[in-house]
Structure 1
Amino acid sequence: MDPERQQQIMGYFIEEAKEHLDTLETGLLDLQSIVSDQERVNELFRAAHSVKGGAAMLGFGSIQKTAHRLEDSFKVLKEQPVTVDEKLETLFLKGFDTLKDLLEKLQGPYGIRDEDADRLVSESEPVFKELQDYLDSLTGGGGGGETGAKGEAQPSKDLPRETIATLQQMLKLFKQQADAENRKRLGVLCNHLAEMGSEMENWQNLVNTASKAIANPKNSYETLAPVVIKELKYASDFVAVGKPDTTPPSPVLLELAGMPATEAGVNLGANEFILESDPKAAAKKLIEMFDKKQLTQLTKILVKEVKSGK
């Protein structure tokens, strides 16, 4: 992948991560008030999970690990009754500060250096251990979910974790030559993703639509990569919080696949969970989600639909 394109993908991740950091900071500063609101706690969990997934795809292990530690802690709040006090708020904010510092260094002129990343992660370990121990004491040692051989909390569903690994492989292929053989390999990975969520209708529709878009030789990898990777990752984020059927293919992906919404067999109204019903709010969200080229494609689709009278 050329440096300009690589920088663009990095920009997507950083901008998205900034939004998630805002969500985390706002929630943590008012943790005592929101802990009883399950949806607000879910927002914090999803924000940490999304940063973790994006960092994993791009190979930023330090950011991935730190976001994962926060995600595990929010999982406790989701699953166990916890009385939030000043000590708990302080520990959460210290952990958040590490994630924020890592992302700020990533945005620097030289990116994040390994030695800086290692130092920040190392310094945060006592904080996260104290946070986990304190959460255990507040919940009677209940913890935050299943644990693996090394004691790390494991995701409640396999799909999000397996999806990240597959998307990493797809991202590597998108950096190679866009020939028939390479597109075939990407198709195999799409089939693998489809098999992971065989019981989820919208997941199947999304993966099949992505597969058709990839198979279309008219679509360049430069156009495909940000759309396909982002939509599949976003859908897996919803699976992680028990909402597997809220992310059908976007109009942009449907256009790349040459499929009208009726052929795809999805109800785009299902995206109301993501987009506000108010047109201005929905437009703002779309501007945040898509780049200029994608927005141009989306505009053309909307104009076409309006003119057709559908």
Structure 2
Amino acid sequence: MQTTKQQQILGYFIEEAKEHLDSIESGLLNLSQTMAETEDMNQIFRAAHSIKGGAAMLGFNSIQRVAHHLEDYFKLLKENPSIKVDRRLEDLFLKGFDALKALVDQLQGTFGLRDEDAEHIVQGTEPIFAELGQYLNQLIQAGNAAPTPTQPLVTPQASGQVSKILKVMLQLFKQGDNAKSRQQLIALCTRMMQIAPKNEPWIHLGQTAQRAIANQANPYAKLAPILIKELKLSSDLLLAGRSGEIIPSTALQRLTKKPTPQLTPDQLAEAQSITQVRSHPTPIAQVEAEAQTMTIAKPPATLRPRTISVPNDPKAAARALLDAFSKNELIQLAEFLMKSIQS
């Protein structure tokens, strides 16, 4: 259940996202004219960037990924104003935009944006954005304008290195789960990152993979298929010069989160008793009076009655009682106080 504050923040995000979507749609419906005006082009670029940033802050990975795609391709349009816009280019951009709008609409719906629905929409956009990227490069080359790479290029040997590392990872997964193999898998992720050490999306993916491997709660049977698939798809994007599209999937990000430890029945009962005591505090003056008058378990004849002063501060009062009474006496005192609270 979301708190009122969370609902308010979500409402602000949806309201702003819809305004940004209106700006993007308006710009795409007449893309040629939009590209002719620098400020109009900047506006739809900023709109996609704002949606991406807001989604990332709130943890909506699917919205972030689609908005990131649009932002990257709007950047290509800005950097290559000589591109000749045609119907195919407009249609591809509009299909990507429709997916982003669908995600925001579902977020606003009665059931919110469910993970399985979001992942289905995102998977449907992958071939669209792949085609859009290829077509943009064709148009750029046709206009004699070389595309500006957004990330450093990798070496020709990178493809072979990736294949070797993935094969070793598969072998380690088959050998069984142990601390040594997890360390080796983490080291292999480091070798993966060294293929393009200055490529931020690639490095971020490698670090996310390392956190998932280090999480002992993930058995290999669950970890292996997600991790291998993620690294393979992302390495393909890297080698194709589309590293801006590399974003850890929702499934991989879930593997980095450690489960909340479950309390045993005894721990739960103890926690409930502490909560009850704290929710019905006994006035310090009453505790002091009762502590001074109570008799503790038939003291020996040689033990003289004790009178102690209990401070008003609860922590100081507890220290005073600990100094004045033995363990058994404290247990009896606690039982007496519990009965007084519950009566």
- Give the TM-score category using the shorter length: 0.3 to 0.5
TM-score (ref. length: structure 1)? 0.48
TM-score (ref. length: structure 2)? 0.43
- Could you say which structure has the greater relative contact order, defined with CA pairs below 8 angstroms and 6 or more residues apart? 1
Asked which structure has the greater CA Rg, the reply is 2
